[in-house]
Structure 1
């Protein structure tokens, strides 16, 4: 936000919601890989305890109903973050709004992909399909074109 010239604390807070949501979405999609490749678990320990998920289960890739519910809860809360940050898209210039919308929608697509594999990010990596990625990009281009036409006073 600072690079784009925005200093309003409320806008920074909205941006933080989207950025935090993106970080979470990336962590939730890579639980198995993070442990296998890096020996790390990025799930909140208090939430693991609350749902009855152990580090040992993650280490051995044991997908359980408890793990499913943990990921369902975490992805649901991440969706709330994206929704809470969405108003920024109407409060910044159209180019930045398009970029932020693309990031948010990309993060939501990751959450959709996690849901599509029944939240089993221990043994599978969710895939955002090429068609979905193309849809996100084309939507961004259409929004930018529409904003440019509005700016020039052209109406459809």
Structure 2
């Protein structure tokens, strides 16, 4: 997932201020690009747990299932209990941490690339909020940001993108 972040960073380009700054003053945007790729992939995994279980697949780390006392059988049964909720709180926190790590790098992208990246970052992170609103039921409910929420967020993402 981090490789996608690195590739897209190169396609979008970096801000002129970054390019002209002395090497010693340039932050490492590669770490942020990798973080955004990981954050997006974790969000995909969390959103798709229900669909993946229907295909006989588990992408959540098995050591985390064990840590929170939630079995593979529980997952395949779609069991919603306190163990599941704690596991999901942990996973959502992990994904949010990766999104937070990515933000510093977005600020250094070329100006015309910042708005779409901020919008996608914010909207994808919003999927995590929807999972919480559904009380972590990813087995019977699909987590997505509704169209109205997307439209309302676009101007805010535009404003955020103007700040470097």
TM-score (ref. length: structure 2): 0.79
Q: Which runs of 4+ in 1 moved over 6 A?
A: none
Partner of 1:125, secondary structure, is coil
Aligned equivalents of 2:74 and 2:47: distance in 1? 17
RMSD of the TM alignment (CA)? Answer: 2.2
Number of residue pairs the alignment of both structures matches: 145
Which one of the candidate residues 3, 6, 10 is aligned to 2:11? 3
**Structure 2 unaligned blocks of 5 or more:** 1-8, 20-25
SS at match of 1:82: helix
TM-score w.r.t. length of structure 1: 0.82
* Contact kept in structure 2, 1:89 and 1:98, CA below 8 Å: no
- Deviation for aligned residue 1:68: 0.7
Alpha-carbon distance in 2 for matches of 1:110, 1:91: 25
Alpha-carbon separation, structure 1, partners of 2:158 and 2:114: 12
Gaps of 5+ in 1: 151-156
